Chain A
């Protein structure tokens, strides 16, 4: 595996974290939403990453998380596109390239987070 996709994925998570944490309105919206989210790049099986949401703040770690509330799984390019705001989660979700496992409300909320940052 070349390092480039892994680095690009991690850079996109950095950008996503910055956008979430810089958005005061989003922080308020998510103040009660404490969740662990596993990020699975299907074509990079050796890469592990997870997002944690705590009291409106987001962080991410380059490691797996036990018992995640949501599992976000897609090819690395799809994940990178979503975290960078190059694409919305909707189309890859509908065409099956992105799978989201979790409660319906959590899945919907994750979509809202992304759209609140990148939506036009």
Chain B
């Protein structure tokens, strides 16, 4: 198929659309400081108990039992079919046994599906390692992009990457979706993967520049994006198929991961088409403008000095 959409011409709108998601996300993170995201026990430390009762039980009954153990302020989430996810502060083994024992005694037979505890130390370690991993991934990407691209396209590619990470974080910040260690995996994968489409488009721009026809830079970039559009959309579609299958049909623990990846992947496709290349054009214009002005001032000062010396 041959497309001929004018992506570049309406770039101000695309920038605005991106900011429309990023800025509320940033605000949500600032407002919720010091917990910008809804960090789960993987980061904060604590216990999760997932139980399924064999007879009808409601959340308030569960809360009552927990209240009796001074754990009334725990988070209790009904997971359907008399199943509950109970998140508490960090408990030791005895306390955990007490909770399970009390639930069994007061509410009847139950199936203990999940019993997790993450110590505060482990949570801290994950946070530190996560930050380290992010930092290293960013440095590697920047090195790769620097080697691979000339300065201005590299800058545009990195901004597109930051865009994708911020959009993903933004959604999770606004909706307060719980974040666990797989979220970290998702963000790192997004950093690695979302650059792909950008690389493909920039490659095409470079190729077209070599055989440049009589057309403006806007037209050339537009042509490049349109030429690679089918590829960009189709590759993202297959990844989205995989992610939707994981999110809707897969196991519980990978759901957060699939959701984060889904947002990041869609944002990545969007940013490579609507943000990266238009940004490159703007940067290019700006730098040309600066060079031109520098040349003008230089010429002007030269003229001035000549004038001054001639007097």
Chain A partners chain B? no
Q: Chain A residues in contact with chain B, CB under 8 A?
A: none
